[in-house]
């Protein structure tokens, strides 16, 4: 298993000759593609960045030892810092701390290995089919059967065994792929668990369950929010028969890790892991607001195209994110969720599993156990947490 | 066929079929003339458009390329609803994808509009040595179900333009009427007929 420690400094992978890659090792499509973050920084900027990293290191402590206490004491400082972006060299570690995945990992030694090595998954062929179709333009994932593809396979397979109801769904690969660029396989797996099972925020496994119930709910909420935050645009969308499923389903299914510029995706993930899924709504609404005056003039076809190809300036994290943070959605999101549940019989997986997972973390007395073997007892509805 | 010169007919077309059968690759070959070996998986759905001249008329395809995995099934109806044409794609080297294609056909027959023109595409026809679905079998199935069938290869471009051309021809045949607004074969309101229709006659 490929170990790539999170708090290592940025270390370049095997770069194939004659391919030029950007700062994040994606193979450049065009000669003059701008990266949002310049590679040649002035000495001044460099110094500022060094200071920022030192500050972060101090807050985190050795291996994350001081982190929890600091967050408890100064949550607002942390929130503000994260919104400015986590330094790239600390990103992997901080993601594990804020998502709660580090705790899951520590509480479940050996579980990942068990899942990868000893269990078989019904999704293995599906996963293999998609492996070379996940971030095909990134050097880490490009090499056939190379370390990137192998880790991606292992993480996805492990998850498909860990939760056989979810199994493997297209889209998960982009989440796992993004994580693997910043942490080891095992760490990436537990972060996926933390997200989907809800270690800190509400569980998101509904994104991938049969019928995609959470995608449907998010799309409903998003459509209403568009109407409320940008009424003219909402009206224009209705007239042009555009609904959010046509452009935003991938935003939610992959949490912006698919077909968004990487520097922006990373900055969104920094905040998303700390503040929760409302950030995805905020960013989506901010994108529409930013391009409002253009979008409102476009007919159906051009509109669809524009909603898939936002202009470069909209993709600049330092422009888009402040706009996103100014959009207030928390209260309405809750109300709209209730409204959606009322309309649809309220069958969505609720925070139950969150609480249990949280308890598991707090009391350190429970351990997550994967479903064993293929003969799963289907009549046992409890999550895979043993008491 | 019918008269006038610059009628452009819009037609909504949807691609359905199992994951990894080459739906996106077929569209990209048709729309951009491109092919990449490792096409990124489609998440949700993607939209493309392409016009095609058939004799003196032009069909403008508005193409929805959908995600293939079974789990995404719940998102599909909004794309095939009101579609003038559907291309159901399977991979000739993978029997299971043919079975899945048949399920799509059944679903469209049950849920879709009866006027939707359905085409069955046996893709990856360049991989002959790995073939699992014979052309005869697919042809028989297609005939029995009123689809038209072609084996295609997005990689070599074989039959790709042809299958869309055949669809366009059939669309024009099944709706040969000329009306001054141009014919709307998609389910959205008028407006998108680009041509200068109102001036003629």
Mutate to test the interface with A, among B17, B40, B61, B66 (most CBs of A within 10 A): B40
Q: In this structure, are A332 and A215 located in the same domain?
A: yes
A35 in any annotated domain:
no
Return the minimum-mean-pLDDT range out of A103-107, A224-228, B73-77: B73-77
- Evaluate if residue A362 carries a pLDDT over 80: no
Rounded Cα distance, A335 and A338, in Å:
5
What local confidence, expressed as pLDDT, does residue A41 receive?
66
Instruction: Report the complex ipTM.
Output: 0.84
A33 in any annotated domain:
no
Judge: A170–B45 Cβ closer than 8 Å, yes or no: no
Helix or strand (DSSP H, E) at B15: strand B8-17
Q: Which letter, b or e, does each residue of A271-285 get, where b requires 16 or more Cβ atoms within 10 Å of its Cβ?
A: bbbbbbbbbbbbbbb
Q: In this structure, are A315 and A372 located in the same domain?
A: no
- State which residue of chain B sits closest to A308, comparing Cα positions: B46
Q: In this structure, are A135 and A254 located in the same domain?
A: no
Q: In this structure, are A119 and A136 located in the same domain?
A: yes
What local confidence, expressed as pLDDT, does residue B174 receive?
81
Q: Which band of pLDDT confidence, cut at 50, 70 and 90, is reported for residue B125?
A: very high
Strands B45-54 and A367-368, bridge-based pairing:
unpaired
Phi, psi at residue B16, to the nearest 5°?
Answer: -125, 160
Average pLDDT over residues A204-216: 96
**Any A CB within 8 A of B128 CB:** no
Paired strand residues for B88: B16, B120
Which two tokens mark A384? 């895979």
What local confidence, expressed as pLDDT, does residue A25 receive?
85
Average pLDDT over residues A196-206: 97
- Evaluate if residue B199 carries a pLDDT over 70: no
pTM passes above 0.95: no
Q: Where are the alpha helices (DSSP H) in chain B?
A: 23-32, 77-80, 95-111, 135-144, 160-174
A264 in any annotated domain:
yes
Return the minimum-mean-pLDDT range out of A25-29, A101-105, A303-307, A350-354: A350-354
| Residue A305's CATH number | 1.10.472.80
Average pLDDT over residues A145-166: 96
What local confidence, expressed as pLDDT, does residue A291 receive?
97
User: What would the pLDDT profile of B79-116 be if each residue is shown by its tens digit?
Assistant: 999 999 999 999 999 999 999 999 999 999 999 889 99
Judge: A250–B44 Cβ closer than 8 Å, yes or no: yes
- Evaluate if residue A377 carries a pLDDT over 60: no
Share of chain A above pLDDT 90, in %: 73
Closest CA to A235 of A185, A188, A309, A288: A288
Judge whether A84 and A341 are in contact, CB under 8 Å: no
User: What would the pLDDT profile of A242-255 be if each residue is shown by its tens digit?
Assistant: 999 999 999 999 99
Print the domain residue range for A374.
108-203+349-387
Q: Which band of pLDDT confidence, cut at 50, 70 and 90, is reported for residue B192?
A: very low
Q: In this structure, are A177 and A294 located in the same domain?
A: no
Q: What are the distances in angstroms from CA B156 to CA A106, A214, B25, B127?
A: 51, 40, 11, 10
What local confidence, expressed as pLDDT, does residue B197 receive?
35
Rounded Cα distance, A239 and A233, in Å:
10
Q: What is the 3-state secondary structure (H, E, C) of chain A?
A: CCCCCCCCCCCCCCCCCCCCECCCCEECCCCCCCCCCCCCCCHHHHHHHHHHHHHHHHHHCHHHCCHHHHHHHCHHHHHHHHHCCCCCCCHHHHHHHHHCHHHHHHHCCCHHHHHHHHCCCCCHHHHHHHHCCCCCCEHHHHCCCCHHHHHHHHHHHHHHHHCCCCCCCCCHHHHHHHHHCCCCHHHHHHHHHHHHHCCCCCCCHHHCCCCCHHHHHHHHHHHHHHHHHCHHHHHHHHHCCCCHHHCCHHHHHCCCCCCCCHHHHHHHHHHHHHHCCHHHHHHHHHHHHHCHHHHCCCCHHHHHHHHHCCCHHHHCHHHHHHHHHCCCCHHHHHHHHHHHHHHCCCCCCCCHHHHHHHHHHHHCCCEECCCCCCCCCCCCCCCCEEC
Return the minimum-mean-pLDDT range out of A136-140, A229-233, A323-327: A136-140
Contacts of A319 (CB under 8 A, 6+ apart): A290, A313
Average pLDDT over residues A315-331: 97
Sign for the pseudo-dihedral over CA of A72, A73, A77, A82: negative
Q: Residue length, chain B?
A: 201
| Residue A129's CATH number | 1.10.8.270
Closest CA to A185 of A6, A366, A372: A6
Contacts of B183 (CB under 8 A, 6+ apart): B7, B9, B175, B177
Judge: A134–B40 Cβ closer than 8 Å, yes or no: yes
Q: How many CB pairs under 8 A join A and B?
A: 80
Return the minimum-mean-pLDDT range out of A133-147, A153-167, A190-204, A345-359: A345-359
What's the distance, CA A235 to chain centroid?
Answer: 30
Q: In this structure, are A283 and A375 located in the same domain?
A: no
- Evaluate if residue B189 carries a pLDDT over 50: no
Mutate to test the interface with B, among A122, A301, A308, A309 (most CBs of B within 10 A): A301
- Evaluate if residue A367 carries a pLDDT over 80: no
Average pLDDT over residues B42-69: 95
Judge: A300–B39 Cβ closer than 8 Å, yes or no: no
A174 in any annotated domain:
yes
A112 in any annotated domain:
yes
Average pLDDT over residues B157-177: 90
What local confidence, expressed as pLDDT, does residue A361 receive?
41
**Any A CB within 8 A of B40 CB:** yes
CA distance A132 to chain B (A): 6
Average pLDDT over residues A154-169: 97
What local confidence, expressed as pLDDT, does residue B180 receive?
37
A131 in any annotated domain:
yes
A321 in any annotated domain:
yes
Closest CA to A243 of B50, B13, B75, B107: B75
Q: In this structure, are A185 and A142 located in the same domain?
A: yes
Q: In this structure, are A197 and A214 located in the same domain?
A: no
**Any A CB within 8 A of B46 CB:** yes
CB atoms within 10 A of CB A378: 8
* Whole-number average pLDDT of chain A: 86
- Evaluate if residue A366 carries a pLDDT over 50: no
Share of chain B above pLDDT 70, in %: 84
What local confidence, expressed as pLDDT, does residue A30 receive?
57
Which two tokens mark A329? 């959605």
Judge whether B22 and A129 are in contact, CB under 8 Å: no
Average pLDDT over residues A102-119: 95
CB atoms within 10 A of CB B25: 24
Share of chain A above pLDDT 70, in %: 81
Rounded Cα distance, A207 and A191, in Å:
16
What local confidence, expressed as pLDDT, does residue A3 receive?
42
More confident residue, B130 or A26: B130
Q: In this structure, are A333 and A221 located in the same domain?
A: yes
CA distance A187 to chain B (A): 24
User: What would the pLDDT profile of A246-292 be if each residue is shown by its tens digit?
Assistant: 999 999 999 999 989 999 999 999 999 999 999 999 999 999 999 99
Q: In this structure, are A316 and A336 located in the same domain?
A: yes
Q: In this structure, are A313 and A360 located in the same domain?
A: no
What local confidence, expressed as pLDDT, does residue A39 receive?
53
Domain count, chain A: 2
Q: In this structure, are A376 and A328 located in the same domain?
A: no
A161 in any annotated domain:
yes
Which two tokens mark B115? 């006027």
Judge whether B21 and B125 are in contact, CB under 8 Å: no
Judge: A136–B47 Cβ closer than 8 Å, yes or no: no
Q: Which band of pLDDT confidence, cut at 50, 70 and 90, is reported for residue A125?
A: very high
């Amino acid at each position: 298993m490929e170990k790539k420690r999170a708090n290592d400094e940025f270390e370049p992978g095997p770069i194939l000759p004659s391919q030029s890659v950007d700062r994040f090792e994606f193979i450049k499509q065009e000669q003059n593609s701008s990266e949002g973050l310049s590679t040649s920084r002035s000495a001044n900027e460099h110094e500022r960045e060094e200071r920022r990293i030192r500050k972060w290191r101090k807050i985190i402590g050795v291996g994350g030892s001081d982190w929890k206490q600091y967050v408890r004491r100064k949550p607002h400082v942390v929130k503000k810092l994260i919104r400015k972006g986590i330094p790239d060299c600390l990103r992997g570690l901080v993601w594990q701390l804020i998502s709660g995945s580090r705790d899951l990992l520590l509480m479940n030694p050996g579980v990942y290995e068990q899942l990868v090595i000893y269990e078989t998954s019904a999704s293995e062929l599906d996963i293999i089919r998609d492996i070379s179709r996940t971030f095909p333009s990134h050097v880490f994932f490009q090499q056939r059967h190379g370390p990137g593809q192998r880790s991606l396979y292992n993480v996805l397979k492990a998850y498909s065994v860990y939760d056989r109801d979810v199994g493997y769904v297209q889209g998960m690969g982009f989440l796992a792929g993004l994580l693997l660029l910043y942490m080891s396989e095992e760490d990436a797996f537990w972060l996926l668990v933390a997200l989907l099972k809800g270690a800190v925020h509400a569980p998101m496994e509904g994104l991938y369950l049969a019928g995609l119930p959470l995608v449907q709910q998010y799309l409903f909420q998003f459509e209403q929010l568009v109407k409320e935050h940008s009424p003219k645009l909402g009206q224009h969308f209705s007239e042009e028969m555009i609904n959010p499923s046509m452009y935003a389903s991938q935003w939610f299914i992959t949490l912006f890790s698919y077909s968004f510029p990487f520097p922006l995706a990373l900055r969104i993930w920094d905040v998303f892991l700390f503040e929760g899924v409302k950030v995805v709504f905020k960013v989506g609404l901010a994108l529409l607001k930013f391009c409002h005056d253009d979008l409102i003039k476009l007919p159906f076809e051009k509109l669809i195209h524009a909603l898939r190809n936002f202009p470069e300036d909209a993709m600049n994290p330092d422009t888009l994110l402040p706009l996103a943070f100014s959009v207030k959605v928390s209260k309405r999101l809750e109300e709209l969720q209730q409204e959606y549940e009322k309309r649809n019989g309220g069958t969505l997986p609720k925070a139950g599993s969150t609480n249990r997972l949280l308890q598991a973390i707090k009391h350190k007395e429970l351990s997550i156990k994967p479903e064993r073997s293929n003969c799963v007892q289907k009549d046992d509805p409890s999550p895979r947490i043993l008491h | 066929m019918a008269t006038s010169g610059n009628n452009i007919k819009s037609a909504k077309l949807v691609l359905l079929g199992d994951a990894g059968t080459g739906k996106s690759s077929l569209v990209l070959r048709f729309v951009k003339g491109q092919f990449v070996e490792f096409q990124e998986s489609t998440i949700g759905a993607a939209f493309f458009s392409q016009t095609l001249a058939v004799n003196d008329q032009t069909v403008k395809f508005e193409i929805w390329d959908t995600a293939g995995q079974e789990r995404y099934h719940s998102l599909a109806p909004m794309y095939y609803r009101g579609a003038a044409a559907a291309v159901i794609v399977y991979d000739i080297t993978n029997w299971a994808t043919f079975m899945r294609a048949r399920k799509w056909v059944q679903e469209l027959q049950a849920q879709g509009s009866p006027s939707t023109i359905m085409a069955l595409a046996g893709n990856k026809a360049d991989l002959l040595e790995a073939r699992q679905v014979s052309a005869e079998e697919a042809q028989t199935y297609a005939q029995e179900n009123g689809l038209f069938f072609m084996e295609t290869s997005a990689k070599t471009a074989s039959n790709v333009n042809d299958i869309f051309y055949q669809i366009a021809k059939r669309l024009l045949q099944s709706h040969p009427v000329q009306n001054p607004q141009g014919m709307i074969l998609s389910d959205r309101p008028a407006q998108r007929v680009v041509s200068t229709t109102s001036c003629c006659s």
